[in-house]
Structure 1
């Protein structure tokens, strides 16, 4: 009889081990699969954020180049008419703001950040110069910004910081413009 009980106990223990393996084996595999798919999703989101930052950099370059050219031409007395300027500047601004808006999905609130505000302020300042057809102010702004060199270099600094933040999986609330000419606290 002791052998029979031992056989029953072994059968019950074997059933419990088999049941546990049947339950926990797929659960562990699912957890590994979820971790792998989570890592894949994070990599896809990081790539999308990097594409957005690269697009911001490119569109900022196009917008600043246009504003610079308007001032260079204006310093020579060849200002565009205001409606033409507004149309072209609005198109470039929209192209710049689209990737900024997409960065919000990556918890990167750059749309209302200091860099975007400063880009809009530069556009507004150039618009006022165009509106007044002021060759002296156009020349002065070109000199003040070192032929827009300060704007172009700060665009590069800010977007390089954003790229570093995306690659390293962080986005800080710290002002990425700190120490640059775009830093609002600098004025």
Structure 2
């Protein structure tokens, strides 16, 4: 059982929502996720994740817990078995829908970090980015792209920017970096 003091401290700790793959088995990507989880724990932050115990999602949560982080997993009930729910999470929230999942993840987070992933990760990233740009939240949105996973995406976004479809204010809401330390500095509320 978690003491009230530990539980209260976990509730006050800065929380980072990490968006990443629930399907990649690439060892380099799994290692990146583990490094991110370890750094979240090292900083005394909480992790908010998609609540799965597979692929990068599982790696970030396991590493965060191993480093002492309080972990919050949020998973829709239809993915509990597919993504093997992270039953070791300090808090596992099962929702009825994906929309509820994303809302709870956004509400519980103080910042958003996107790692490599597919269409689900992209949807979450774009929703967090758009929410910030539209004033729905004031939370940092960071993309850590060590291996150019998103190179084509951001080349296209730069083209949209050049053509006037994406403005300066929207671009100012995100930090895209290949540097691990820079990504965490951009998330850090005290930096």
Bin for the TM-score computed over the shorter chain: under 0.3
- Higher-strand-fraction structure: 2
TM-score normalised by length of structure 1: 0.23
Larger fraction in helix: 1
Normalising by structure 2, what TM-score?
0.22
